[in-house]
Amino acid sequence: MEHWAGVIMAAGAGSRMVSRIPKPLHKVCGKEMVRYPVELLQGLGIERILVVVSPATHTPVREALGDSVEYVIQPAPNGTGDAAAHAVAALPKDTANLVLLGSDSPLLRQESLQQLVEQHQASGSAMTMLTAPDMLAPDLGRVLRDEEGRIVALVEAADSDEDAWAPAEVNAGAYCFSRTWLEATLPRIAPSASGEIYLTSLVGLAAQDGDVVDSVASELPEEIFGVNDRIQLAQVETVMRWQILETLMRSGVTVQDPGSVYIDAGVAIGCDTVIRPNTSVLGNTAIGEGCEIGPNAVIQDSRIGNDCRVTASMLEEATLEDGIDVGPFSHLRPGSHLETGVHLGNYVEVKESRLGRGVLAGHFSYLGDATVGAGTNIGAGTITCNFDGKDKHRTSIGESAFIGCDTMLVAPVSVGDRAATGAGSVVTRDVPRNLLAVGVPARIRANNQLTDTKAPD
């Protein structure tokens, strides 16, 4: 795609969303709408991508997209034609063609955009647009053709004299332009009654000058659905959610009840994994093969290995290696890392902690800011008391240790390999390996005697 550029319109106020959030940043299946056209253009191999923003949307859009694109500010809301003019002025002179997309049509497919580009290159036309024939789309502009089938005008829905619900060929809002033609023609657009300059007016000017406006018909009409309000946002999400589930099921994932499962666009799931009802898999999550997730699970931005089971539990920015069993009713907070073979049962909460291979924590425990060695058993009611009211402190538990029920580990503190604590102990001092600490506060039992001093390691 040498000498091509991409332009994305993201300067609109989106007043019908009734939101303090700019419309391009409302999410569909976990991803801001403006990210979808950016990824489409990147998929085409276009390296120069310009996003047109307003003074109000510039900062939040930049926070979302970072430096992956360039930004062009449209100082005043003077319409899509004015936005395009600002973008064209910012392009390098060697740009021969450009793809122009909106930021509110997240269902647009890579295949359609590829066909649009190929048709534009093959025809050498001034303008090539994506359309959808025989659509019931009362809020989209209608394509008018002459007797020979040539496109001669676009009529905005508000200006059309035809029945708004009559089938028609409609404008999908995706275009390819010859840069020199666009640069020469944009200044000729007459402002509308509201003073705005509409990009769609280019079609009439092209017909007037005898320039060719080519088109590509969408093969999947729902891809042209755009978002102007919260109702359309929900409708578009419904379509995309089913597309995501269909793709996963065709790749070997079982989804027992698609109507109750929510999976975001950035999720990857391996073959023979089963997603049970009332489960949400969100954000940048990856799940391996042969897992069972749900029912009633929420997985957010997490990594789950092969052959894991997560039942009625919540994971946030957590990592599970292979063969791990979690839940029901457990919560893994950010920074949790469970090594192979860990078992967490009912009501176990883990935060910023690493649990070694084969660790067992079956009931009612909190492990925060902790490191737990392989093969250790965490008794019911164990709590790492990691917060002193001002600072967080870490707890270290060695391998093959045994932490008795209702043990309070007052951090900073460590328990050595193969050490143990008695039920109900409050551990305020380090417990050396191979020894037992019991009591409140816990003391070391050495030679069947209790001592207040630290036993030799």
Specify the pLDDT at position 343: 98
Angle formed at CA 205 by CA 204 and CA 207, multiple of 5 degrees: 65
Distance CA 357, CA 324 (A): 10
Residues in CB range of 282: below 8 A, 6 or more apart: 30, 262, 263, 264, 267, 298, 299, 300, 301
Q: Reply yes or no on whether the pLDDT at 76 is more than 60.
A: yes
**φ and ψ at 405, to 5 degrees?**
-60, 145
Distance CA 112, CA 117 (A): 9
Specify the pLDDT at position 137: 66
Return the SS3 of 355.
strand
Return the SS3 of 33.
coil
Residues in CB range of 241: below 8 A, 6 or more apart: 29, 262, 263
For the CA atoms of 387, 388, 393, 399, what is the dihedral angle to 10 degrees?
-80
Angle formed at CA 281 by CA 275 and CA 282, multiple of 5 degrees: 170
Distance CA 214, CA 176 (A): 9
Give the mean pLDDT of 265-292: 98
Q: Reply yes or no on whether the pLDDT at 396 is more than 80.
A: yes
Specify the pLDDT at position 66: 96
Return the SS3 of 388.
coil
| 441 cis-preceded (ω within 30 degrees of 0) | yes
Tell me the percentage of the chain whose pLDDT exceeds 70.
95
pLDDT in tens, 302-327: 999 999 999 999 999 999 999 999 99
For the CA atoms of 67, 68, 72, 77, what is the dihedral angle to 10 degrees?
-110
Q: Rounded to a whole number, what is the distance in angstroms from the first to the last CA of the chain?
A: 68
pLDDT in tens, 13-37: 889 999 999 999 999 999 999 999 9
Distance CA 137, CA 159 (A): 14
Let me know: does 336 contact 352? Beta carbons within 8 Å. Answer: yes
pLDDT in tens, 199-252: 999 999 999 999 999 999 998 989 999 999 999 999 999 999 999 999 999 999
- The gap from C-alpha 411 to its chain's centroid, in whole angstroms, comes to 36
Distance CA 6, CA 100 (A): 6
Distance CA 94, CA 166 (A): 43
Residues in a beta bridge with 446:
449
User: Is residue 393 annotated as part of the catalytic site, yes or no?
Assistant: no
| 277 cis-preceded (ω within 30 degrees of 0) | no
pLDDT in tens, 36-66: 999 999 999 999 999 999 999 999 999 999 9
Q: Rounded to two decimals, what is the model's pTM?
A: 0.91
- Sign of the alpha-carbon torsion through 240, 243, 248, 251: negative
Specify the pLDDT at position 456: 43
Specify the pLDDT at position 135: 74
The closest alpha carbon to 367, from 323, 430, 415, belongs to: 415
Q: Which helix (H) or strand (E) holds 348?
A: strand 343-351
Q: Which helix (H) or strand (E) holds 126?
A: none
The DSSP-derived string for 37-93 is: HHHHHHHTT---EEEEE-TTTHHHHHHHHGGGSEEEE-SS---HHHHHHHHHHHS-T
The CA distances from residue 257 to 24, 58, 60, in Å, are: 31, 41, 36
Residues in a beta bridge with 385:
410
pLDDT in tens, 126-145: 999 999 987 766 677 889 89
